[in-house]
Structure 1
């Protein structure tokens, strides 16, 4: 058996991956839009305190004389019922929103990916046990399970992240399990087993390595979904607590004045929409780009 038989299937086709990605961005306007939105959100998350026009108000400092001001040249997004600049709070709130999303997706992947890989590769009773545990968690709607967990741990941004990670990992376990089952009988995996390579080396080198693409696509879409879920928990009082500049909390604080001071809820809601849209657009483009069944552009 030749050595080429054990090479993984992650082989670039038709030029470098970077050049093909650049061609996709030039031809796919939605992919480019998603990337631009994500870059914008990342810049705001990293440099928010220096970009915000009133950073002290972004962190909760009130201004009684500026309460409920409509959007103007001074306060582009207006002010809330405590006189805080909405634009500053939206900008500074980008950091916690992106941080909690990366935390949740990272923890969910750390739990779900190894379990799914082991279950799919080993099969048998171990696969059955791990998948039954996974199905128990999937039996509950993710947001409902997160609400119950936060209610037990106590409302806070950190506890909301833990709760969402607990409800999110089963999707990665099932995704990787399906990929591992498809890969375990591939020639390069069988060749590795035939040459005496132990399972603990086959899993990372041949199974997980070839699962990176679907994991990357799923994680990209999930980051936007977690932003929405974390905002939902904050909206009902189970996420970030006042005076945190959390988008969901800001929407909740302005819902009672939606017809008289619409900007208090509208702009944080728009921030959630733009962030989720950016990650969804990029995730869909990545899926189409890496899917071998799609025609490469």
Structure 2
């Protein structure tokens, strides 16, 4: 029975997610009939008879159980229903939008592969020359930490507005795909390059490398063998990188006005078109799961017979000693953030007391936004708002991750599916249930941020339970309820806590991304993502209003990169 627990956990979790999607009209607590009438005719005071007729037309009068049964039956026949707003079938439009998104993701993945190859090439060259293959990975980590929506805004300002090299919006030709592909592909390429560099460096420390060199294999043959040996362990991560692109594509499509699946789902969420939102989320989740399955199949194919024979070699590579000068970067970033908050906190972030898009001056150091509000004040107050929410997310995720990770076999399904769900997709479900808000953004990011901590906890728990003093405890009469607080929690708490703190900057950037997409705090909240979204319509007239929140987000990214680099040495 214990061997069936992981498969049972995965199946139950996937079924629960599908039920949640199907029941969104009832979970939301809002009357879909009233939303439809407002969207179609602007009717603010419909009669009860009109609302009842709309509910009957939509099948909502059946109740949640009957609606759930009908939804699953229609789903088995490939029918996602009709849009509540336009009345058109949902599936054809979603398939067309999915084609656009897959085209964008393919171009972005090509950018990611080229970026990873360029980042890994120095390590591969040093290994072929018999030199030290260890690398700081700072450039790769810097690319990894840059969120897609921030890069999109930056590229839009620099390459479309200032240099006029590429079109800013649309999807009409090859030139329109360049900036979106780079904005979406560079973070994934940085992560892939970092993982590939570490894997290649470890492979060059396996014994067979020396054997092949003595046997006079060519450098090209050794290079191909090293890459084939390094790639299998990366396939699950490559799958996760592509899955993350499905979430990042939503922001990129929104910035560049690309008619892809992400933008279609975001529009459905804004219009409260729940059938379209249900269909889009389901397609996104199935796409993510399919990518994960394909990645694992490729991994097994690359390993070949060595996996079944247990013949995989083991590498030993010593870490570099810690260079204390590396602490300069995070300390400097913290000082800049503190100075930014200290200068802007006494200023009013809400009053429109300046001219619209007023340029910077001594009295107004960062200028004014499109409504005449002080940009410095809004960024400073936004730092407290965004980082404060990130702290809440991190602490709640830590508690959930520790609790779930203590049951590794039972929790494998929720952990795997949650890790395959980008925060943006989780936010779409939360927005459909309770509307956009700061609390909704916290819930959305928390709902996926706990999974890496739970996976870390589960791995540590498995190691600790294999230790002699823990294995012998039940024989000595120590029950599970006493074993967990006495032996297991003290050993895992501090490593998982450090892991959680490292994810604090990433959680802040995820919250900012939701605010940017309109899935988080509502105006006039001075939240970093919302500030950037408010400034984008004026990018051609006041690019500085876009650059300043981008720089604030970049500081948060650099802080996360610096802390992660220090702890992994």
SS in 2 for 1:163: helix
Pick which of 166-175 and 145-154 moved more. 145-154
Contact 1:230-1:239 at 8 Å conserved across structures: yes
Root mean square deviation of aligned Cα: 2.3
Name the CA shift for 1:61/1:54 in 2 (closer, same or farther; >3 Å). Answer: farther
Q: Secondary structure at the match of 1:265?
A: helix
Cα distance between partner residues in 1 of 2:475 and 2:345 = 64
Match of 1:68 among 325, 339, 357: 357
Partner of 1:160: 441
Structure 1 unpaired stretches of 5+: 1-22, 121-126, 289-297
Residues 235 and 100 from structure 1, CA distance in 2 versus in 1: closer, same or farther, beyond 3 angstroms?
same
Equivalent residue for 1:52, pick from 323, 333, 344: 344
- 1:189 is displaced (CA, Å) by 1.7
Specify whether residues 151 and 39 from structure 1 end up closer, same or farther in structure 2 by C-alpha distance, changes over 3 A only: farther
> Does 1:195 pair with 2:476?
yes
Which protein has greater RCO, CA pairs closer than 8 Å, 6+ apart?
A: 1
Greater radius of gyration (CA): 2
Cα offset, 1:86, TM superposition: 0.8
The equivalent of 2:524 in structure 1 is: 243
TM-score by length of 1: 0.76
Q: Say whether residues 1:31 and 2:327 are aligned partners.
A: yes
SS at match of 1:79: coil
User: Does the 8 A contact of 1:151 with 1:238 survive in 2?
Assistant: no
Residues in 1 aligned to 2:347 and 2:426: alpha-carbon distance in whole angstroms: 35
Structure-1 separation of matches of 2:469 and 2:332: 39
TM-score, length-normalised on structure 2? 0.41
Deviations 1:120-160 (A, max 9, x none): 4xxxxxx2x32123333334333212232223221111110
Paired residue secondary structure (1:70)? coil
Figure out how many residues of one structure are paired with residues of the other and give that number: 249
- Determine if the alignment matches structure 1 residue 260 to structure 2 residue 556: no
Secondary structure of 2:411 counterpart? helix
Q: In the TM superposition, what is the alpha-carbon distance from 1:105 to its structure 2 partner?
A: 1.2
Query: How far apart are the structure 2 equivalents of 1:39 and 1:206?
Result: 39
1:69–1:83 Cα contact (<8 Å) kept: yes
Q: Kindly provide the CA deviation profile for residues 87-142 of structure 1, in whole angstroms up to 9, marking residues without a partner as x.
A: 1111111111111111111111111211112x24xxxxxx2x32123333334333
Segment drifting more, 237-246 vs 27-36: 27-36
Query: Equivalents in 2 of 1:147, 1:86: separation in Å?
Result: 29
SS in 1 for 2:526: coil
